[in-house]
A and B are shown apart, each in its own frame.
Chain A
Amino acid sequence: MTFLRTLMVALACAAGLLAAQPARAEIVVNVNRADVQPLPVAIPAFGGDASGAEIAGVISANLERSGLFRPIDPASFVERNLDPAVQPTFESWKQINAQALVNGKVTVVDGKLTVDFRLWDVFAGQQLLGLQFTSSPENWRRVAHKISDQIYERLTGEKGYFDTRVVFVAESGARGARTKRLAIMDQDGANPSYLTDGGSIVMTPRFSSTSQEITYMALRPEGSSVYLLNLETTRRESLGEFQGMVFAPRFSPDGTRVVFSVERGGNSDIHVMDLRSRATRRLTADPGIDTSGSFSPDGSQIVFNSDRSGQPQLYIMAADGSNPRRISFAAGRYTTPVWSPTGEFIAFTKEEGGQFHIGVMRPDGTDERILTSSYLDESPTWAPNGRVLMFSRETAGGAPRLWTVDVTGRILRPVPYPQSGSDPAWSPLLN
C-alpha cells in the first residue's frame, strides 16, 4: 500500500514537471561552407631570458612553414609582457582574430634552461596545453622544435615533425664537377654540418629508425661501397665487398636489415643483409633493372622499381622476395619509391611529358596524386608523421635545392637551407 502511494506521488510529480517545462525544439542547421585558411595564431616573444624571442621565432617559423598556421604580426599585439602563469586577456587577442595564443617564459639558472609555455584557445577562453621543458642553454632550438611539435599535434590532431634532422648531399662547385659531401642539418635548415670531406661522391643517405645511424653509398674510381655511419660516435663501417656496383641502401624499420641493389653485367637486383649475421640474400632475379627497395613500416613488404615491363614501374614484393606484383600502370617512368611511415602512401619520382614530378599513391596502386612538377624534382623522403615530403628540385642550368610539399600538394615550400642540396633523408622524431 505504501509502495502504491509512493508510486502515485511520483507519477504526479513527474506529470507536474513535464507540464511545467514547455517542450523545446532543437533547431538543426547545416554549415556547408567555410573560411578555409591557415589557422591564425599569436606567438609573442617568450618572457624572461633573452632567448625567449628566438624561441618564439623558431616556433613561429616552424608553424608557418607547415602551411597550416598563420602567425600573426607581433606589431598588432595589444597585450604584451604576458606571464604564462596568468590567464591572458582573451578579448585583446580576439580583436586581432587570433584563434590560438602561445606564450611562455624562459629562465636560465645554474646553467639550466627552463622553458614554460602555454597554448590557449582564445575564443573558447581555455588553456589547451601547459608544459615545461628543461635542457642546457645551447639546446634552445631543440626545445623550440619540441614546443612546435606539441602545438602542432594539439591543434591538428596529427604528430608533429619539427624535432627532426635531415641528412642530405651538399653540392658545391660547377655543374659536371660538383663536390658532393654528406651533410646533416635540422629540418629547418639550421645547424648544418658536413659528415664527409668530399673525397668521394656520396649518394642516397638514409636514416635508421634510431636516428643515430645512417647508411649511404660512396662512389670512388675503384668502385662503390655502402657504409654505415654512427652519428654519435662518428664510427663508419662498410657493409662489405660485393662483386659489382652496390647502391641504393635503406634500413628496415627495425634497423636490423639493410636492403640494397647490386649491379653486375648490366643487370641489377635487390639484396638484403642481416646486420647482425651479415648474411646477404638476393631478393630479385629478374633480367630487368630492379632497384630502390623500401620497406613497408611493418617490415613485411618491399616496394621497388623495375623496368622488367619495358620501362621503370613500381612493384611490391614480400620481404623475402616472394610474390612480386606491379602497382603502377600509368604512363611515365616511376622511380625512387618510398613507403610512408604510416603505411598509407608510397611516394615516388615520375618522369612524364618532359618533366619530373613527385607523387604519391596507395600501396595497392590506387589514388595516384602528382604533387609537384618541374624541370627536375626527385628523391622524395617522408617526414615522420607521413604528411610532408622533402625532395630536391633543380631548375634548368641551376643547382638542386631542397623543398617540402604536403600530401595534398597544396603546401609547397623551399627548405630554408641557403646552399645547394639533393637526395634528402628525413630522420624519425628525435628522442
Chain B
Amino acid sequence: MAKLRGKAAVSGIGETAYTRGTTKSGLALQLEASLKAIDDAGIDPRDIDGCIPYFPGAGIAEDFIANLGIKDLTLSAFIPMGGATCVAALQTAAMAVATGVCKHVLISVGRTGYSGARVSTRLQQFPQFALAAEFEAPIGMFAPAQLYAQGARRHMELYGTTERHLAEIAVTTRKHAILNGNVVMNKPLTVEEHHASRMISDPFRLFDCSLESDGGAAVIVTAADRAKDLKKPVVSILGVAEGHPESPASIAQRPDLLEFGLVKAAARAFTIAGVGPQDMDVAQIYDCFTFTVIRQLEILGFCRTGEGGPFIMDGRIGLGGELPINTHGGLLSQGHVVGLNHVIELTRQLRGEGGKAQVKEAELGLVTGYGDMGDGSLAIMARGAA
C-alpha cells in the first residue's frame, strides 16, 4: 500500500484574486489560475498531459486542449466528490505520474459561486444529490448548511460542543486571512460578532458558513524525480487517500451522522506516509463549516471524539500555536474554490513561501477534503523529496 509514498510532488500552484463579483467566466478563472500554476512550475502549457477539472464545474478536458494547445492528453478524469474532490484528485494524479501514464497532471477549479449560480441551485444539479433532491429538498432541506447542521447539533448535544467553540474556528481563520491579503473577508472578526450574526440553519450562523465567492485555483502534480528539476523546491506527497462513508448519498440514512469518509482515508494516508498526527507542523482542514473542522480534527486523531471543541481553544490552532490550521483563511474567509486553496497553502508553507502567515520550520503538514454528504480525502505532504 505504501507504493505511492513520496512518488509524486506538487510542482506548481496558481490562483486568481478571490472576489465577490466578477465579469469573467468560470472557465476563464480556471484557465487564469492554470496558467499561473504552469508558470510557477516552470513548464510549457503544452507539457500538461493529464487533466482533472473540478466537476460539475466550469471547464472540461476539451477546454484545456483547446486553450492550452495540448497535443497529446493521456488522462482526462472527473472526481465527483464535492469538497473532497481536490485532495482525492491528488491521489489520482499521483497514481498517474507514478505509473508513467502522465508527466504533469493539472488539477483545477474555476468558480463563479457569487456572481453565477448560488449554492442551493447548483447542488440540485449534482447527480450525487439525486436522493437528497427527491427526499430532502421537498421538506425544506436544500443546502449543505441545512444538511450538515443536524450532525453538528447532535455533536453539541452528545459532547457539549458549544457556539463558543464554533466561533473560535471562525475568528482564528479570519486572523489568518488578514495576513494573507488575497481574501474576500479582510476585516477582523470578534467572538461577539460571530454570536450576533444571523442564524442560517441552527446551530450554523452566518459566520459558521463558508463563502460564496468567485475565483480560480490550480495545482500541478509531477513525479517527484522529475519535479526536482523544475523551478520551485520539491514538496512531495508522502501519503494520500480518499474514503467514502456508509450511505454516501444521504446523511439521513447514515448509521453515524458523524462518520465521514475521512475515517477511512486518514487510516490509509497515515499508513502510506509512515507518520502520525503528532508529527504535523501545520494542517489545512476543509472548512465548509466551522463545526466540520472540529469533527475532522477528532477523526484525524489530534484529539478524541467529543474533545474537538476544547482542543481548538486557547490559541492551539492559531499561528504560533501547537497546530496552526488554515493559515490562508480557508473557505470561511479567503474564498471557496472547493479546497484547492488549501492544497496551495500547504504547498506554500512547506516551500517557505507563507509570507506573514509562515509557520516556522514547517516541514510536514496535511490537507483534508470533505464534501458531497461526507466523502473524505487526506494528503500528507513534506518539504523536499521523501
Q: Do A and B bind each other?
A: no
